[in-house]
Structure 1
Amino acid sequence: MAKAVRLADIGKKLNVSTVTVSKALSGQKGVSEELRAKIIQLADEMGYQKSESRKNTNEGKSFTLGIIVADRYVSENQSFYWKLYQEIARQAVSRTCFAMLEVISSEVEKRRELPKVLLEKKADGLIIMGEFERGYAEFLAEDAGVPLISLDTTGRGKSSDCVVSNNLMGGYEMTNYLFSMGHSRIGFVGKRLITTSIDDRYFGYLKSLMEHGVPWREDWVIDDRDSDGVMDNEKEFILPEDMPTAFFCNSDLAASMMYQKLVREGYDVTGDISIVGFDNYLADQFAGIGLTTYEIDTKEMAKRVVHIILHKLLNARYSTGTFVIPGRFIERESVRRIGPPVPFV
């Protein structure tokens, strides 16, 4: 079966961008008539075909939205990204559009292959949900051939548009809360330089430490996953000899796994160690203890990302840059007050 011709293939032959090719073939402004004629002629010669979903857009303004996520983020039954996808699907339907999810394997990332929704021309636009390996993100930014936007990551490629939760301020707020409950010995649970979301939450943690005059301790920064993003509380979650009194965990899942590790090691949560999380998506709290966490507004994130990608499909010049959605602090029972609030310096 012959490989489908992509916009990037046409652009490469004429040394122009995929955006220019897209404009020329869709009749949009910003392309000279001479270049437009060359692009149309080459597209015909190469056998380029529009996707069926795109052919109908000028009539009913109905689009098919491709959504991709790395398989390492949806291996759990209760994945934050499953919840986020469901919200996107609801928002797409409300806009008379269709959302199509594709889970990308690590092999596809390494081989720099386009998602099937693009290879088979089933998607008009692409939502990149969560972090991908840097090289793959850059590859998509160059070769996707359709409008795209990143969700829950600022992206590591050349895509300028993204929708994220306010991770830095969320991490800052959660750490400030622990200080307000009398804790000054606070650890962080999360692998750094794996995702931009974890890094931003870590930076919020550091900001709070600095403002309270508390020095950073390397032995209190606990990895929750390996370099491939796989979480395992046997191999990771290595506890320090000198324990803090509280941990800010970068996600609810990390908090749950940290809880299991602490219990196995003989600690009482919350008697000995307090824990806070981030996301507020786990349906079941551990051992009857409600997890204090920072809720990500998945409904608003889904609403905003669908709004932006549809506008990008209708106007090639439309861009929003980074769109930050605020979250909400939720207090439950996983933190014990051990003293008066620790003041800011």
Structure 2
Amino acid sequence: MKLKILAILCSALLVLVPTVVRSPFYLDLLVQIMIAGLIASSLNLLLGLGGLLSFAQTALAGAVSYVVALGCVTCGISPWLSALSGIAGGLVLSIGIGALALRTTGLNIGMITLALAQVMWGLALHWGSVTGGENGISGIPRPTLPIWSTADPVVWYECVAVLFLVIVAALNLFMSSALGVCLTAVRSQPKRMSALGFDIRKIRMAAFAIAGIVASLAGVLFVFHQQFVSPHALALGETAETLLMVIVGGPATLLGPLAGAVIVVVFRVIVSSYFDYWPVLLGALFVGVVVFLPEGVIPGVSRVIRRLR
């Protein structure tokens, strides 16, 4: 009951942030954190819950961003229809990635997803006639609302915050659902689950599909927020940061990837403006977390709080 009340209070605070913070810079920072948190959550669903190492989630979100950008700018389709096309394309792509990756096991899954992520990045970089190459695609309009203007940073922040909370709530329900429990059981006891009659491949394919939807939604929010997309969104460095968010925050937890997103994005946006070698500090933090809080920040802090009670 206390956790539910705390979750409601945190959600209300997130939505009410613009009543206190009016600076476009900090609203932009919070939006970046929420989008990064969603991409990390999609990876956490596969890695944390299912034990499936995927390097394709960040590239998948970037690919969806390109679909939306091409729909809006190149084809002249409305942003709403472009967003739906991007989500549908992301779902199909994630199922395809899962179908290929699950033909093998263990670390080979990670290698296949890494190769596919590099293919997507290579297409974005070198298929210049479609993607714009290194220059990317700019001038992407945001969806319009009947009353409010999404060009207003406050209105746009509220839109992202509401969708973010809905997705996080859905992920929470999934983690406690029968499918979520089965996915966790398959991670730890695959042979036993198979002996009990569960179709392990179907469970894992469902995980890839759901994680793909979450990553696709993040990709849609990303391209509408930046109003620009380039191959950098699919780069290996972005993939590494997403993996770092999950490991630092705490895999297999709802809040772990979100906490990891806060840490990484704050380092990337704020610390980098004061310290040129901020990746060194971030790397040192990562090493410290792995050594002293191997289960991640959120589980580690929770353990400390329980001991103090």
The TM-score with structure 2 as length reference comes to 0.24
Counting strand residues as a fraction of each chain, which structure ranks higher? 1
- Larger RCO: Structure 1 or Structure 2 (Cα < 8 Å, ≥ 6 residues apart)? 2
Counting helix residues as a fraction of each chain, which structure ranks higher? 2
Which of 1 and 2 has greater Rg?
1
